Amino acid sequence: MAQAAWTLIARRETWSSGEWVLKHRLTIRNSDDYNMPYFNPHGEFVLWNTRNTILTSHLSLVPDFDMFASNPASHRPLYHALLRAMSNGTILLSDTPETETELALLNAMTGRTSDNLTKVVRSSVSAVQLENRWFDLDLGSKESGKAHLAGAWDVGTGAGVIGAWNCREPGYQAVCHDSLSSRDIKDLTNDSEGPFIVYPRGYSALLKGATVSLARPNEAFDLPFLLQEGECEAFIVSGLRTLVESRVAMLGMQDKLWPLGGVSVRQKGEDTVSDDLTLRKSPSSGVTILDGRIRNLRRRCDSNRHW
């Protein structure tokens, strides 16, 4: 970090209107190397990267979460890929020529633009451990307990993602019994009032096929979940918009680890909400409509389509 900081200081800034204007944001390594010989390389790597961003996300730097492997399964590819998708830094693969790269995982992290260019689909900000969980200091222990939660909020779409990881030491079958709470959602959304829908992605065994939940303002919200050793989960949190007599929430591209990438949402009066998609060839986009009950609506992702 010191080397990158000195590089930053050495650059000449532009003095304009009495303020320093930074022309370039430098990429900085956000943690120690991703090093397999560590006893708990996967859990500690996620834990310390999303704790370090409590500071580094406020600097004029882009945090780099280092490389990860898409194979074999023992390297927890999804576990690491979710973290990288929730960052705005460089995404690097450590797959060797002898490794069969998991293309399905890469497809979940990339998309094609209207110009037929392949782009990484990721957050515009790096995930940060949720504020009310900063002092959960035993998340890497051998005992069962809480999960590690970090979030990234996309102001442009009024939605974000909370990632949850079991960071406990491997080999002890430690389980994370936890619950997504009203305070977790407030931390993610910067105390926005809501209401919000909460949609688990189903990466963990016990949340596969889970439906959406509604988090109302000034009401307690509690969504229990369980993570086995090596498991992670993600929750889309999306603000509801009034559309005639219904309310609509944008869930983004459901085949992407960061579903909000390449999507912006604008409300045009009381009867039209448009989604501008800069990515194409994605199997599905989703909205959730409240009309007395919660249900999911799926449709094709086409640019400039209107609801």
- At 245 the pLDDT is 66
109-162, pLDDT tens digit by residue? 998 877 788 888 999 999 999 999 999 989 989 999 999 999 999 887 889 999
| Higher-scoring residue by pLDDT: 40, 5 | 40
The answer to which of 26-30, 182-186, 298-302 has the lowest mean pLDDT is 298-302
Band of residue 266 on the pLDDT scale cut at 50, 70, 90: low
Most confident of 6-10, 242-246, 290-294: 242-246
Helix axes 77-85, 41-56, angle to 10 degrees: 10
What residue spans define the domains of the chain?
A: 14-120, 128-299
Across the range 82-89, mean pLDDT stands at: 93
| Higher-scoring residue by pLDDT: 281, 43 | 43
Tokens describing residue 93? 């693969």
39-85, pLDDT tens digit by residue? 778 888 899 899 999 998 888 888 888 888 999 998 999 999 999 99
Backbone angle region of 219, left / alpha / beta, with phi > 0 → left and psi within -120 to 50 → alpha: beta
